[in-house]
C-alpha cells in the first residue's frame, strides 16, 4: 500500500473517531438534559403531592391540584369529571367552577371506554375529539385522561390538556401519569373518608342535626370570630313542653319519632347552613347569623306554630322558645348568647308554654 493511501486511510479513521466522539457527546448531553428535566419534573410532583397530602378537605385538595397542575406543569386545561353516583357525589365542591368540575352520571365513564385502565392519551384533531370537551377546549391538541379510583370501578377522571400535539401521545410512556392518577385517587378517597368521620362526630344520629360537640369549639369564641365582624346573630333555644310525660305515656320510640319530627319542622323554616344543634334530650339551639330582630321573631313564630301541627300517636306537642339577639356594640361570646336564649325559654314556659319570648336585653314581646 502506497504511503499516500495509508495517510488517507488514517485521516478517514481519525475523522470517523471524531464523528463518533461528537455523536457520543451529543447523546450524553441529551441524556443529561432528560435527566435534569425528569429531576425537575419529579421535584414539582413531590411539591404537588405535599400540597395534596396537607389539604384539609376534598374541596381544598381539588383546588391544590388544579392550581398546582396548571402552574407547575404548564397545562392549558385541567378539569375533573366526577361520577355523581359515587361517594364524591356527597362532597361539598360548590367552590369549583364549571371550568374545573363537570359531574357525569352513573355509567358514563364506562360508556367512554375508560374502565380497566389508569391512563388514556389522545391526539386531538378536527376529526378526532373527545366528547366531554367543551367549545372552549377547541384549541387543545393532546389530552391525558387520568382515571381515578379502581380501574374496574372508577369514581372520576382528571383531564390534562395541552395545545402541544406532542405533549400526550398514545405511543408515549404513562408511568409518571399512572403514578399521578393513583396518588390523586387515593388522596381524594382519604379526604372524603376523613370528612365523613368528622361529620359523624358532630352529627346527632337520631335527628340529623348537629350535636353538642359541634358547638363546643365555638362556645367561648366571640360571635364575630365565628360569624364575622358586625354580623348580627339571633339565637333560638327551644324544647318540647312536658316531653318526659309524653315519653312515659307513649314510650321511647314515639319520643324519638317526635324529636325527629320537631327537628325536621324547624329545618323547614331556616336556611340550609344555619346551625341547628341538639343539645341533648329534647333541647335544641338554632343560630341565625345576619338575622335582625323582626326576622328572628318571624322564624321563632313559624317554628312554634309549625311544631304545634305535629301529631305522633295522637299526641300534639308544643314547644317553648327563647330568643336572644347579639348587640352590635358588645361582641359577646357564643356561650353568653346561648345562655340568654335559654333563660328566655324558661320565661316562655312560665307563661304557659307553646310560645316564644325575647331575652331581657331584647325589647318587645312575642
**What is the average pLDDT across 251-257?**
92
Q: How far apart are CA 236 and CA 326, in angstroms?
A: 12
Q: Is the per-residue pLDDT at 45 higher than 90? A: no
CATH of domain 210-358: 3.30.70.270
Confidence label for 28 from pLDDT (cuts 50, 70 and 90): low
- Give the domain ranges of the chain: 24-199, 210-358
Confidence label for 9 from pLDDT (cuts 50, 70 and 90): low
pLDDT for 115: 92
Q: What is the DSSP letter of 366?
A: -
Q: How far apart are CA 170 and CA 178, in angstroms?
A: 14
R_g (Cα) of the chain, nearest Å: 33
> Smallest Cα–Cα separation from 130: which of 82, 156, 122?
122
> Which three cell numbers, joined as nine digits, stand for 324?
336572644
> Smallest Cα–Cα separation from 82: which of 61, 56, 52?
61
Q: How far apart are CA 153 and CA 241, in angstroms?
A: 51
The top-scoring range by mean pLDDT among 4-13, 43-52, 140-149, 243-252 is 140-149
Coil, strand or helix at 164 = coil
CATH architecture of 24-199: 2-Layer Sandwich (3.30)
> Which three cell numbers, joined as nine digits, stand for 271?
336556611
pTM, entire model: 0.65
Amino acid at each position: 500500500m502506497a504511503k499516500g493511501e495509508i495517510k488517507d486511510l488514517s485521516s478517514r479513521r481519525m475523522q470517523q473517531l471524531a464523528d463518533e466522539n461528537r455523536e457520543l457527546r451529543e447523546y450524553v448531553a441529551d441524556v443529561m438534559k432528560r435527566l435534569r428535566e425528569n429531576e425537575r419534573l419529579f421535584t414539582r410532583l413531590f411539591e404537588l403531592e405535599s400540597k395534596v397530602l396537607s389539604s384539609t378537605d376534598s374541596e381544598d385538595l381539588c383546588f391544590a391540584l388544579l392550581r398546582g397542575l396548571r402552574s407547575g406543569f404548564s397545562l392549558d386545561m385541567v378539569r375533573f369529571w366526577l361520577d355523581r353516583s359515587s361517594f364524591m357525589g356527597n362532597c361539598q365542591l360548590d367552590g369549583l367552577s364549571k371550568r374545573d368540575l363537570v359531574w357525569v352520571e352513573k355509567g358514563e365513564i364506562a360508556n367512554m371506554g375508560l374502565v380497566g385502565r389508569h391512563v388514556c392519551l389522545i391526539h386531538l384533531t378536527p376529526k378526532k375529539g373527545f366528547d366531554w370537551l367543551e367549545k372552549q377546549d377547541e384549541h387543545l391538541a393532546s389530552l391525558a385522561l387520568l382515571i381515578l379510583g379502581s380501574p374496574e370501578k372508577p369514581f372520576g377522571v382528571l383531564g390534562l390538556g395541552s395545545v402541544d400535539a406532542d405533549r400526550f401521545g398514545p405511543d408515549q410512556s404513562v408511568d409518571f401519569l399512572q403514578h399521578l392518577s393513583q396518588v390523586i385517587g387515593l388522596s381524594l378517597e382519604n379526604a372524603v373518608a376523613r370528612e365523613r368521620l368528622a361529620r359523624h362526630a358532630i352529627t346527632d344520629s337520631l335527628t340529623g342535626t348537629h350535636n353538642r360537640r359541634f358547638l363546643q369549639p365555638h362556645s367561648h369564641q366571640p360571635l364575630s370570630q365565628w360569624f364575622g365582624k358586625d354580623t348580627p346573630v339571633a339565637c333560638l333555644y327551644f324544647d318540647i313542653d312536658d316531653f318526659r310525660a309524653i315519653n312515659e305515656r307513649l314510650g321511647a320510640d314515639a319520643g324519638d319519632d317526635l324529636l325527629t319530627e320537631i327537628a325536621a319542622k324547624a329545618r323547614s323554616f331556616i336556611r340550609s347552613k344555619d346551625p341547628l344543634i341538639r343539645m341533648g334530650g329534647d333541647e335544641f339551639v338554632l343560630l341565625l347569623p345576619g338575622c335582625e330582630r323582626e326576622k328572628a321573631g318571624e322564624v321563632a313564630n313559624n317554628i312554634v306554630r309549625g311544631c304545634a301541627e305535629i301529631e305522633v300517636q295522637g299526641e300534639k306537642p308544643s314547644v317553648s322558645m327563647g330568643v336572644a339577639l347579639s348587640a352590635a356594640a358588645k361582641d359577646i361570646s357564643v356561650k353568653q348568647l346561648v345562655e340568654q336564649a335559654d333563660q328566655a325559654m324558661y320565661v316562655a314556659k312560665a307563661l304557659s308554654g307553646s310560645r316564644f319570648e325575647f331575652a331581657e336585653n331584647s325589647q318587645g314581646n312575642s
